[in-house]
Amino acid sequence: METVAVIDFETTGLSPGQGDRATEIAAVILKDGEIIGRYQSLMNTGAWVPAFIESLTGITNEMLRSAPPASLVMQEVADFVGDYPLVAHNASFDSKFWDAEMARIDRTRRQEFVCSLLLSRRIFPQAPSHKLSALIEYANLPVAGRYHRALADAEMAASLLQRLAHELREQHKVNTVSVDLLSRIQRAPKSQLTKCIAHAQAV
């Protein structure tokens, strides 16, 4: 698989369209099955963190007061990931925040997002749940740290992606797992996984 950047946001809520902002970002660079780079930072947007979110993530308003400004952090993380394809667990969530925070610093995403949640639903349809923590347990992958902290979640999403690629190679006899193939699989109707893989292999 090509080199990718697996990212994870912690935020004040679910929707940037409703005023929610990022509180923490992490990105890990995954190359040839190894994490070769890590970026992690809290970020101060001035937005208030509700008590429920403080409890969920452990990221408090107090912690964010001394965090670097979001504009600086987003510049750094954008430079860190470059043009590598981005991967996130439930990418529809992280892509919204990525695009919203990038727009605030007048930068535009050029690469696509791959979603490990959608891929898991295709490749591990039998898993009891497709939330990140359940998939880590289901696949016997190491817990990298506290759930709902950006770097731990990004590292676990990266190991899950590796496991999904392994499953494609071993169970579905895929010779080369590419970002393009993953992109096709996550968009394919659930019932047509085998057909989708066969078609991609034949091209």
Partner DNA sequence: TGCCAGGCCCTCTTTAGGGCCTT
Q: Which residues bind DNA (CB under 7 A)?
A: 8-15, 17-20, 23, 47-48, 50-53, 56-57, 89-90, 92-93, 117-118, 121-122, 129-134, 148, 153, 189-190
Kindly tell me which of 82 and 125 has the beta carbon lying closer to DNA. Answer: 125
Kindly tell me which of 82 and 134 has the beta carbon lying closer to DNA. Answer: 134
Least spacing, CB of residue 30 vs DNA, in Å: 18
Least spacing, CB of residue 32 vs DNA, in Å: 26
Q: Which residue has the tokens 């439930």?
A: 90
Alpha carbon of 143 to those of 23, 137, 157: distances in Å?
22, 8, 10
Least spacing, CB of residue 130 vs DNA, in Å: 3
Q: In angstroms, rounded to a whole number, what is the distance separating the alpha carbons of residues 117 and 78? A: 23
Q: In angstroms, rounded to a whole number, what is the distance separating the alpha carbons of residues 90 and 96? A: 11
Q: Are β-strands 4-11 and 86-88 bridged in parallel, bridged antiparallel, or unpaired? A: parallel
Strand order in the sheet with 34-42: 34-42, 22-31, 4-11, 86-88, 113-115
Q: In angstroms, rounded to a whole number, what is the distance separating the alpha carbons of residues 176 and 64? A: 43
Kindly tell me which of 32 and 64 has the beta carbon lying closer to DNA. Answer: 64
Q: Which amino acid is at 30?
A: L
Kindly tell me which of 36 and 56 has the beta carbon lying closer to DNA. Answer: 56
Least spacing, CB of residue 47 vs DNA, in Å: 6
Least spacing, CB of residue 15 vs DNA, in Å: 3
Kindly tell me which of 32 and 52 has the beta carbon lying closer to DNA. Answer: 52
Q: In angstroms, rounded to a whole number, what is the distance separating the alpha carbons of residues 98 and 68? A: 17
